[in-house]
Amino acid sequence: MALEQYKQKRDFKKTSEPKARTAKTASHIFVVQKHAASHLHYDFRLELPARPGGEGVLKSWAVPKGVPEKAGIKRLAVQVEDHPVAYAKFHGIIPAGEYGAGQVEIWDKGKYQLVEQTPKSLKFKLNGKRLSGNYVLYHFDKRNWFLFKTK
């Protein structure tokens, strides 16, 4: 199951993060959460089916330096476990001692359109408040992707 890893890492009696549930949704949302964990990073999440034709999850990447707002900047994005769609609304404090302990803020959110998906890349158009335009996620090694904006 797509959210097994998400579930295993968390104790829902202790954290107020959403429980592991998939969702049947037609919309395609994205969110960027600023996460002040032991290392500050930005979590970039795109709503996509967990598997072809399946229910929606948030495919997720941790971006240490943040999502570029302009073309010409390439950022490392490390893929992490799928998150439930409800996680897009989560902000608050993950308690000390819990996985990812620290503050989570919504840095940007909005809709996106999937332009192209290949085994190695995702091309999409973001429509958020801070981020808008065409972006690429390019898979180059294990969990490592590049995230950049195109003109």
What minimum distance in Å lies between the beta carbon of 37 and Mn ion?
Answer: 6
**59-67: long-range contacts, CB 8 A cutoff, minimum separation 24:** 61/137, 61/145, 61/147, 62/35, 63/147, 64/39, 64/40, 66/32, 66/42, 66/107, 67/32, 67/42, 67/108, 67/131, 67/135, 67/147
Does the CA dihedral 37-40-45-51 come out positive or negative? negative
Interacting residue with Mn ion among 43, 47, 82, 108 (CB under 5 A): 43
> How many residues of this chain interact with Mn ion, rule: CB under 5 A?
2
Considering the complex, what minimum distance in angstroms separates the CB of residue 102 from Mn ion? 8
Which of these ranges, 36-44, 46-54, 115-123, 127-135, lies near Mn ion under the rule CB under 5 A? 36-44
**Minimum distance between the CB of residue 114 and Mn ion, rounded to whole angstroms?**
23
- Per CB under 5 A, the list member of 17, 22, 35, 63 interacting with Mn ion is 35
Distance CA 113, CA 107 (A): 19
Which residue in 17, 8, 62 sits closest to 36, CA to CA? 62
Cβ proximity to Mn ion: between 10 and 35 the closer is 35
Residue type, 39: H
Shortest distance, CB of residue 107 to Mn ion, whole angstroms? 12
Check binding of 59 to Mn ion (CB under 5 A): no
> Quick one: 83 or 149, whose CB is closer to Mn ion?
83
Residue indicated by tokens 């999937």: 114
- Residues near Mn ion (CB under 5 A) are 35, 43
